[in-house]
Structure 1
Amino acid sequence: MKMYLVSLAVGLLVGALYYLLNVKSPAPPLVALCGLLGIVIGEQLIPVIKNLIS
């Protein structure tokens, strides 16, 4: 759980720095989030399928 909180805190800090420096995110936020969601689902889906087959 601590890892998730640290990740969230760092993300918020980077977002605040982007805002203060008037820098745009390198990727469109929705596209980046969809990509990350796909990575997480793919990473979790294979072990679940292996357990269902076994």
Structure 2
Amino acid sequence: MGYIISLGVGFGVGLLYWLLKVQSPAPPLIALAGLLGMVLGEHAIPVVKSQLFAQTTVQSAAPAPAAAPKTSAVQDATKQGS
């Protein structure tokens, strides 16, 4: 919706310039190139940040071996004493 409003306002200003016989303050190609640079710069910073500070997770190829069941010291002592 914001793009449509912006386009409409820009068109209205263009009509106003034409009615008043005033040229736009900047050549259209230079103005559009500047706007394009602003948009690219605005979107480039988050992309670069995410690439530089991305946390990678290490995945192992084989699953970890299952842990051996733990026995208590009391059970070991009872087995040895019998």
Q: What TM-score comes out, normalization by structure 1 length?
A: 0.90
AA paired with 1:46? I
Give the number of the structure whose residues are more often helix, by fraction: 1
Q: Which residue does 1:9 correspond to in 2?
A: 8
Structure 2 segments unaligned to the other structure (5+ residues): 55-82
Deviation at 1:6, TM superposition (A): 0.4
Percentage of matched positions with identical amino acids: 58
Separation of aligned partners in 2, 1:32 and 1:20? 21
Q: What TM-score comes out, normalization by structure 2 length?
A: 0.61
In terms of Rg, which structure is larger? 2
Does residue 1:43 correspond to 2:46, yes or no?
Answer: no
Runs (4+) of structure 1 moved beyond 6 Å? none
Deviation string 1:7-29 (CA, Å, 9 cap, x unpaired) is 00000000011111110000111
Separation of aligned partners in 2, 1:49 and 1:16? 40
Separation of aligned partners in 1, 2:39 and 2:17? 25
AA paired with 2:3? Y
Structure 1 segments unaligned to the other structure (5+ residues): none
